[in-house]
Copies of this chain bind each other. A is one copy, B any other.
Amino acid sequence: MERALVTASARELRLRPLRGIPLVRPGDDLAGLLAAAAREDGLVLSGGVLVVCQKVVSKAEGRLVTLSSVNPSELARRLAAEDGKDPRHLEVILRETARVVRRGPGVLVCETRHGFVCANAGVDLSNAPGEDVAVLLPEDPDASARRLRAALALPARPAPGVIVSDTFGRTWRRGVTDVAIGCAGVAGIVDLRGTEDALGREMQVTEVAVVDELAAAAELVMGKASGVPVAVVRGVDPAWLRDGNVLDEVVRHPNDDLFR
């Protein structure tokens, strides 16, 4: 896998929310909405990284399930009853789940078909366009990012990097943070192997998940409650703006994982 070597970052990193994006509906031209909002805001996307919430990507792609159409299985009914939840929500979660990694009070920690490990297999009810709609993760979030990036390219200018982000919990630490579930035109992992630290010793810590750090940084300006689903990052090290993806670079193979 191609990986960029990090270069000393002399630059200032700047993050801004991208305002003016209307509520997104299935079939909407999300790239068109993003480009229009950037034009309106006077923001240049080329050379930057666009971080887009999973939820608007999923909505544009029609990854929605109307709960009234769902007939919950016996397992979904039992889990829902034990946790005081909607059995139809549980049914959708189980359909998106490759494996339940842990079950805790009121939460299923699931491995999705992509290999993400997250609560409820990423199936969310909040911010959905109706009370009875579940929003699923994109089928292939890296491909979603690639499509957005291609559609945002302007003639004779480098296309921006694109990150599709979602909000995950963590082991051992309270609170959620945003991570990348897909990316295009930006590194997933930046490899420091072979570089030397400030004192000339070979470094022990080698691979930095810059795509997750960018997603986390972007969350700080999006604000979950303010309804701004996109942020623009400027000043990213140009060496990081290369082909990249989350599934191959960032998702750890179960065989290398001590906690699955």
A residues with a Cβ closer than 8 A to B are 6-17, 23, 102, 104, 109, 116-117, 124-129, 131, 167, 170-179, 188-189, 192, 195-199, 201-205, 207-210, 212-214, 216-217, 219-228, 236-237, 249-252, 256-260
Contacts and interface: CB of A to CB of B under 8 A. Distances in A.
Contacts of A7: 223
Contact of A6 (B17, B179, B197, B224): B224
B207 A212 contact: no
A195 B225 contact: yes
B227 A177 contact: no
Nearest to A249: B174
Contacts of A10: 17
B197 A227 contact: yes
Per CB-CB distance, the 4 closest pairs between chain A and chain B, nearest first, are A198-B227, A175-B209, A217-B217, A8-B226
Q: Which of A131, A203, A259 has the most CB of B within 10 A?
A: A259
A208 B177 contact: yes
Nearest to A211: B175
Nearest to A119: B205
Contacts of A208: 167, 175-177, 219, 224
A129 to B, nearest CB: 7
Q: Which of A13, A188, A212 has the most CB of B within 10 A?
A: A13
Nearest to A10: B17
A177 B209 contact: yes
Nearest to A246: B173
A189 B174 contact: yes
Nearest to A170: B170
A18 to B, nearest CB: 12
A9 B207 contact: no
24 contacts: A8-B223, A9-B220, A9-B222, A9-B223, A15-B15, A117-B172, A124-B204, A125-B201, A126-B205, A127-B199, A127-B201, A129-B199, A131-B201, A170-B209, A175-B188, A175-B189, A175-B207, A175-B208, A176-B208, A177-B208, A177-B216, A197-B227, A208-B219, A210-B220
Contact of A192 (B220, B222, B224, B227): B224
Nearest to A103: B258
A42 to B, nearest CB: 13
A225 B8 contact: yes
Contacts of A224: 6, 192, 197, 203, 205, 208
